Amino acid sequence: MLRFLPLVWSGLWRRPGRTTLALIQILLAFELKHESEAVLEDTRPITRLLNFVSYFVSAVMAAGATVGAVNALYALVDQRRREMATLRAIGFAGGPIVVAVLVESMLMALPGAVLGALLAWGLFNGQHISPAGFSLNLAVTPELAVVGVIWALIMGLLGGLMPALRAARVPVTEALRAA
């Protein structure tokens, strides 16, 4: 009874008509949300679309960068075939050669990753964009930059895997004959 006391005092409850009952039903069905929750719910479709597009573009660019790394490392392995054969001739197994090529491929990816993280921070951090009437604040956090650098190192590692295995499998006699 205490819940309806304000309605009784206001005179709405004395003789409820259809309008008053409809108003009470509307007020009871009304859902209150915090502004941030309402904005998050309204922007969810555009956020999903932007996430899909960004992940798709990132995947295509990652594949292109990995193919570029594979090409560069195959050229590197072919140029240094004699050096690697000499290492194998003096007693190194294929494992250390694979590790050396993989470390080199990751070291080749590191400057590009750091430069990319710095450029992303410098160009996009703190920017405000408004696609389709929604305002978005861009933030390049240190955690995001670290994820980008780690992703680039993984791409360098994957890109160097096939050339490293090729370098370790080349027969020593054939590689030493190559000029």
For the chain, domain boundaries: 1-30, 34-177
pLDDT at 9: 45
137 or 158, greater pLDDT: 158
Percent of the chain with pLDDT over 90: 30
In angstroms and rounded to an integer, the radius of gyration of the C-alpha atoms of the chain is 31
Average pLDDT of the segment spanning 74-96: 87
pLDDT at 78: 87
Query: The tokens 């009304």 sit on which residue?
Result: 30
| pLDDT band (50, 70, 90) for residue 10 | low
Q: What pTM was estimated for this model as a whole?
A: 0.67
pLDDT at 2: 42
Where residue 135 falls (left for φ over 0; alpha for ψ -120 to 50; beta otherwise) is beta
**Bridge partners, residue 137, by sequence:** 128
Where residue 15 falls (left for φ over 0; alpha for ψ -120 to 50; beta otherwise) is beta
pLDDT at 179: 54
Average pLDDT of the segment spanning 59-76: 89
| pLDDT tens digits, 93-119 | 889 999 999 999 999 999 999 999 999
Token couple for 162:
């096939």
| pLDDT tens digits, 110-157 | 999 999 999 999 998 888 887 767 677 888 899 999 999 999 999 999
**Bridge partners, residue 160, by sequence:** none
